[in-house]
Each structure stands twice: as structure tokens, then as C-alpha cells.
Amino acid sequence: MEILFFILGLLFGSFFLVIGIRLPKGEDALFSRSHCDTCNHTLKWYNLIPIFSYLFQRGKCSYCHQKISPLNLIVELATGILFMVGYIMYGLSYEFYLYLTIVSLMILIFISDFLYLIILDSPLVIASILVIILKMSYLGVTEGLIAILNGILLFLVMYFIQYLGGKIFKRESLGGGDVKFAFVIGLVLNLQLGLMTLILSTFLALPYSVASLYLTKNNEVPYGPFLAGALTIVFIFMNKFQALLDLIFRF
């Protein structure tokens, strides 16, 4: 089963690449044929086998021989590994399905936000629906409604941070996608863990932000990937983070 989910992850990783790269450019991601981004040549099925096509073609297009971005290989391999690790940790369980939803969203946000500084609405909506269905199916309608309330509250917190940042810095400090993503974080976690996720994400983003400002003088940093990474970390180690919160509030 581990190998099966690794292969499934490779396939989904390839699909996430198409979604994350095409949708921000307004291209059809579902029904149009795959093509080379350089020469626009329509690719054959054997050009689209995850990992193997990249390796056999030595990282180049079979038609124009221009280099293919290593992002393809990295995303496919990372998704395969993450799917497999999730199954090893959780088996076929509620936590596993929730984990797959989180990881899939994280991969999509990494692609679109790092490349285009955009967090797509459609993955956020689909992830929200899936999380609500999972909560209500496994934990009951009441827990599902509480999760929605947590999502709304964390959304409002993030919206307030965006508003405050705009007033202080006289410019947009957070993108709308980051604010919407906070709703998903609140759905998955409770409000306290959601707030801890926001705090952790700032620490994750800080080194990248400093390096980007120093090396490229660019103060516009994709924050979504660090939010997504923090969500994944807090979800995996939820018990430890909850124990830390309990210890903090005990004092």
C-alpha cells in the first residue's frame, strides 16, 4: 500500500503542477492537452510519466531540447513521498484523509504563490468543502459547525491583521488569498492552534524574507507557502502543540 500511495502521489503531483501553473495564467487546466512551455508542442503520453519522463529526457523537451524546470521533478517526488508518509503515519483513517487534503493544498499554494504570488480561490474552496465533509462524517454535525465557526474567527483575525498592516505600512501587507487561507486553517484546527499556526508561519517566513530583501531588494514575499507549511507542521504534531498551549494557559 505504501508504494501505491507513492505512485498516487506522483500522479497527483503532476496534476497539481498543471493546476498551479495554468490557472493563474487563465489557461484551461482540465481539458486542454499538455504542451511544452517553450515551443508549445503538444506532448505525448510518454512525455508525461511522472519522474521517469524527466529523467529519460535528461530534463529537456523532446522536441525543442530546451531545459524543463526541475520544479516538475521536485513537486512530483515531494508529493509522492508526502502521500506515502501520510499513509505510514495514519493508515486509512480520518486523520489520513484530512492530511491528504492539507498536503495537496500546500503543494498547490507552494506552486502558485512562489511562481505568481497568487493563492487560487478554487483549491481553497474545494479544501474547505472536503474538510467540512470529513468533520461532519467522522466527528458529527456539531463538530463540523464548530469547525466552521473556528474558520470564521481565524479569518476575522487575519483580516484584522491585514487591515492593521495596511494602516501602519500604508500598503497591502497581506494578500487576500492569505486571509482566505486562514479560514481553512481554522477549519482544520481549533482557534488556539490556528493562532499558533499564524505565529509559526511568521518565524518560517522570516529567514526567506530577510534573504530576499538583502539579495534582491524585493520586499514582496509569498506568505502562503509558509502558512501552508506551518499548518502541515502543526497538524502532524498537533498533540505536542496542544500540550504546549495547555502548559502556557496553565500559567
Q: What is the pLDDT of residue 68?
A: 65
What's the whole-model pTM score? 0.88
Q: How confident is the model at residue 70 (pLDDT cuts 50, 70, 90)?
A: confident
pLDDT for residue 82 is more than 80: yes
225-233: average pLDDT: 94
Q: What is the pLDDT of residue 115?
A: 87
pLDDT tens profile 167-221: 776 677 677 889 999 999 999 998 999 999 999 999 998 888 877 777 776 667 7
pLDDT higher for 184 or 166? 184
Q: What is the pLDDT of residue 33?
A: 64
Q: What is the pLDDT of residue 168?
A: 77
Q: Which of 48-62, 94-108, 176-190 has the lowest mean pLDDT?
A: 48-62
DSSP string for residues in the chain: -HHHHHHHHHHHHHHHHHHHHHGGGT--SSSSPPB-TTT-PBPPGGG-STTHHHHHTTTB-TTT-PBPPTHHHHHHHHHHHHHHHHHHHH-SSHHHHHHHHHHHHHHHHHHHHHHHS---HHHHHHHHHHHHHHHHHHH-HHHHHHHHHHHHHHHHHHHHHHHHHHHHHSS--S-HHHHHHHHHHHHHS-HHHHHHHHHHHHHHHHHHHHHHHHHH-------HHHHHHHHHHHHHTHHHHHHHHHHHHH-
pLDDT tens profile 106-137: 999 999 998 888 898 999 999 999 999 999 99
Mean pLDDT of the chain: 85
Q: What is the pLDDT of residue 98?
A: 96
Q: What is the pLDDT of residue 48?
A: 59
